[in-house]
Structure 1
């Protein structure tokens, strides 16, 4: 068996492929904001909506819900995270705000992964995927799903999720 000189890993195709996927996951998930909290996920979106508008109130609710979820995670109240996140999803914000919802789910999943709460992270990401309509958001969520799988050591599932993300991104390029 041949080994890669610098990495000390076998150079068979599957191992290299998994290593490459793991590297891409680490770099893409960090750039998507998984490793840190991002206050104001919905706040920026709300600034473009006229005061008193029902949509502005919904965005304010979503922002508050996101903050509630992050506080619950910090307090270790993990059983409450998915039901509270569902309140954001159930607002059924217009498609224009779908990216903010996907970012919220991604940030929450990242916080859960940091605390080894993989099942809840999967629940949050899966619910977000069910509701995401835009391919760019679905692709980003599949990357997050891959990050969760990778973090729990399930590299095959991580690979599947990333391949779905790539497929969606390629479809966007062909348009």
Structure 2
């Protein structure tokens, strides 16, 4: 009888992993398409639509071991906005990315990105605060 229970638990675990895998693949595919939509909005200078479209990415559920992709996405999209002199919008997009991540390492990377943008704009005091926040998060990371 214990063997049957172990097999049932294993079966349920495998089914859960399959569902998680399918869910992750769906989320990844949606994020990929939505990324292209956001980039086209930026290219077309439809800046008023960017945050709503990017929120569709950052509201997706990513596995913990994949949340670094939110960081990369935030860096790419904010860089594209910066290239179009949309500095405040780039910062707001990074704030969206910050709300999407959980690990201190991911948060630290996003705060650094915000700091780099401030530094490039000449906002040295704000950049300093953001870099300091990143350092604190890195120190507290496991």
Higher gyration radius (CA)? 2
Q: Distance in 1 between matches of 2:31 and 2:100?
A: 15
1:54 maps to which residue? 23
| 1:135 maps onto 2:104 in alignment | yes
Higher helix share: 2
1:11 maps to which residue? none
Q: Distance in 2 between matches of 1:55 and 1:98?
A: 12
Q: Which has the higher contact order (CA 8 A, sep 6+)?
A: 1
Q: Distance in 1 between matches of 2:60 and 2:94?
A: 17
Gaps of 5+ in 1: 1-48
2:11 maps to which residue? none
Structure 1 residues 120-173: Cα deviation after superposition (integer angstroms, max 9, x where no partner): 11111111112211011001000111012122221100110011111112223x
1:113/1:151 contact within 8 Å kept: no
TM-score normalised by the chain length of structure 1: 0.66
Give RMSD over aligned pairs: 1.8
TM-score normalised by the chain length of structure 2: 0.80
Moved over 3 A (4+): none
- How far residue 92 of structure 1 moved from its aligned partner, in angstroms, is 2.2
| 1:120 maps onto 2:83 in alignment | no
Count of residue pairs the alignment pairs up: 124
2:121 maps to which residue? 152
